[in-house]
Chain A
């Protein structure tokens, strides 16, 4: 017995040590898989179109060049699509945060008839796959003249974002103490006045999460714009990247530079709002 005890202790601690190692090996393997595609695209974007597809592949470009980026930011077509993407994404972000803030506030603060039914209807609508709507939306838009318009895109993007953001902002408003608002009401503030002077300033972090999510959905969306706005003058950047391929028969140098430019706005937002994002995504991680 006396001899057994230390040896089993050693084997247990060995197993424990080995287990930790296995965990780290698995996590780093997954991290490697996560980063490799994007790192490889980043490296390729600094190569000429010929070097991009030459073998053996060089991780560090032999003749690093910024030509691909220059091409992307000077080609009028692509610049126009970038401009469209910013208009659509910013427009849809502002509208969706405003609308969802009103909705979320109603659910968080008021008692009214049919409240629970309305909440489940909104969450239920959220489960309707948007994809199934592309055909009726296309026909509808072609009849009312919203096809190939940025406004049409901004409006349809709302269906992707509003249900999620109503839910997110509802739970955010619920964390703000009611007493603050009641005190202001007693002092003679109107409901809208309370919203403007007390609730909105206190809810800024919640709005930030909602805005970043809305921007990300609008900036990255591909199927709705390729169906509803694929003319050169109304094209958004994701569609322009896709069109790139048929137009230039895949010039990988240009394409990878375009990919990195598409990544910049989202990465910048992610860096600024990193903490809130992880929390917000976990809180309302509902839509793909």
Chain B
């Protein structure tokens, strides 16, 4: 009985651990194995040949890979800056003494409850080159309508706009939680000491919000790097691969061209990128801390 007692918590945790290891951890390790072998739609049921780093060589000699890196940079920077900027602004506004802030908060969450398929199609419809209401509005203003999805320089920005609409509620919620955690007496004390609104923001709000901001930025950046739902739904990577980010490039290698092992190799590069980004953020915030 006593022995059973000490095993009990592990028994409680067993189902979660089995599932997480079977479907999260083992595939992660197996991904490394696949990336070092020759696995394609043709060889998937045969024995896989060990080919070392050949898959990585193939990727590094593919111009589309370098293009996807450039697209990723634009997509990630644009999405993160917009989501963070708008999210921080709205969270701060909601934290002021305003009427119906609860109602605003509830309505602002709506995009977060919607699927990426719905988001993608809704924005595709709004920005359609020929019958979208955005172009209709632009023509009404006497300007020329814009080929949002046919211009390789513009298409990625429409995906970024859709992604911002979809992702900003998370930042609003996350930073709102951070703002609520700040003790209001700090503001009262600062006000009595004669601090202006802006000083209170820079000397109280921002420093106390820092750990929330850091976590938020890491999460949103990493998600955005790995995210390709909207690109797949809205543009399928086009026109001329101008919306094919690295994550979509990985998906296409595997499931469009059937090169599973090359896709797996891109997956490894993505993991390295994720870790590097988190590391850079931690360093950046650390340096500021010491100053």
Q: What class of interface size applies to chain A in its complex with B?
A: 35 or more
Query: How far is it, in angstroms, between the C-alpha of A112 and the C-alpha of B5 when the chains are bound?
Result: 11
B118 lies within 8 A of A259 (CB)? yes
A191 lies within 8 A of B104 (CB)? no
Q: Which residues of A contact B123 (CB under 8 A)?
A: 37
B222 lies within 8 A of A34 (CB)? no
Least CB separation from B167: chain A residue: A288
Query: How far is it, in angstroms, between the C-alpha of A259 and the C-alpha of B122 when the chains are bound?
Result: 9
A56 lies within 8 A of B136 (CB)? yes
A26 lies within 8 A of B89 (CB)? yes
Q: How far is the CB of B128 from chain A (nearest CB, A)?
A: 8
Least CB separation from B14: chain A residue: A102
Query: How far is it, in angstroms, between the C-alpha of A126 and the C-alpha of B112 when the chains are bound?
Result: 19
Write the B112-146 contact mask toward A (1 if CB under 8 angstroms, else 0). Answer: 11111111011101101011010010000000000
Q: Known interface pairs A40-B126, A135-B267. Does A35 touch B107 (Cβ–Cβ under 8 Å)?
A: yes
Q: Which residues of B contact A189 (CB under 8 A)?
A: none
**Total of A-B residue pairs, C-beta within 8 Å:** 233
Q: Contact partner of B9 among A110, A156, A158, CB < 8 A?
A: A110
| Residue B198 lies at the interface, judged by CB distance under 8 Å to chain A | no
Query: How far is it, in angstroms, between the C-alpha of A55 and the C-alpha of B139 when the chains are bound?
Result: 11
Q: Which residues of A contact B251 (CB under 8 A)?
A: 134, 223, 227
Interface-forming stretch among B26-34, B58-66, B149-157, B203-211?
A: B26-34
Query: How far is it, in angstroms, between the C-alpha of A252 and the C-alpha of B122 when the chains are bound?
Result: 10
| Residue B165 lies at the interface, judged by CB distance under 8 Å to chain A | yes
| Residue B187 lies at the interface, judged by CB distance under 8 Å to chain A | no
Which residues of A, 255-288, contact B by the 8 Å Cβ criterion? Answer: 255-256, 259, 262-263, 266-267, 270, 274, 277-278, 281-283, 285-286, 288
A55 lies within 8 A of B136 (CB)? yes
A138 lies within 8 A of B116 (CB)? no
| Residue A91 lies at the interface, judged by CB distance under 8 Å to chain B | no
Query: How far is it, in angstroms, between the C-alpha of A106 and the C-alpha of B13 when the chains are bound?
Result: 7
Least CB separation from A286: chain B residue: B219
Q: Known interface pairs A31-B108, A278-B105. Does A262 touch B24 (Cβ–Cβ under 8 Å)?
A: no
A99 lies within 8 A of B9 (CB)? no
B13 lies within 8 A of A103 (CB)? yes
Which residues of A, 87-110, contact B by the 8 Å Cβ criterion? Answer: 99-100, 102-103, 105-107, 110
B20 lies within 8 A of A159 (CB)? yes
Write the B235-254 contact mask toward A (1 if CB under 8 angstroms, else 0). Answer: 00000000000010011001
Write the B1-39 contact mask toward A (1 if CB under 8 angstroms, else 0). Answer: 000001011101101110110111111101100100001
Interface-forming stretch among B67-75, B169-177, B281-289?
A: B169-177
Query: How far is it, in angstroms, between the C-alpha of A204 and the C-alpha of B77 when the chains are bound?
Result: 41
Least CB separation from A152: chain B residue: B23
Q: Which residues of B contact A263 (CB under 8 A)?
A: 114, 118
Q: Contact partner of B255 among A110, A222, A227, A241, CB < 8 A?
A: A227
Query: How far is it, in angstroms, between the C-alpha of A37 and the C-alpha of B254 when the chains are bound?
Result: 33
Q: Contact partner of B108 among A30, A99, A163, A220, CB < 8 A?
A: A30
Q: Known interface pairs A44-B125, A55-B136. Does A27 touch B34 (Cβ–Cβ under 8 Å)?
A: no
For this complex, 24 residue pairs linking A to B, each with C-beta atoms less than 8 Å apart, are: A35-B110, A99-B19, A100-B16, A106-B12, A128-B25, A129-B223, A130-B24, A131-B250, A131-B267, A131-B270, A132-B267, A132-B271, A133-B31, A134-B254, A136-B26, A136-B264, A138-B255, A139-B39, A219-B115, A220-B115, A222-B115, A266-B113, A281-B109, A282-B176
Residues of A within 8 A of B (CB): 20, 23-24, 26-27, 30-31, 33-38, 40-41, 44, 53-57, 99-100, 102-103, 105-107, 110, 112, 115, 118, 122, 125, 127-140, 142, 155-156, 158-159, 162-163, 166, 191, 216, 219-223, 227, 238, 241-242, 245, 252, 255-256, 259, 262-263, 266-267, 270, 274, 277-278, 281-283, 285-286, 288
Given A110-B8, A158-B19, A223-B251, 11 further pairs, Cβ under 8 A = A27-B98, A31-B108, A36-B126, A103-B12, A133-B23, A136-B31, A136-B264, A245-B121, A266-B113, A281-B112, A282-B174
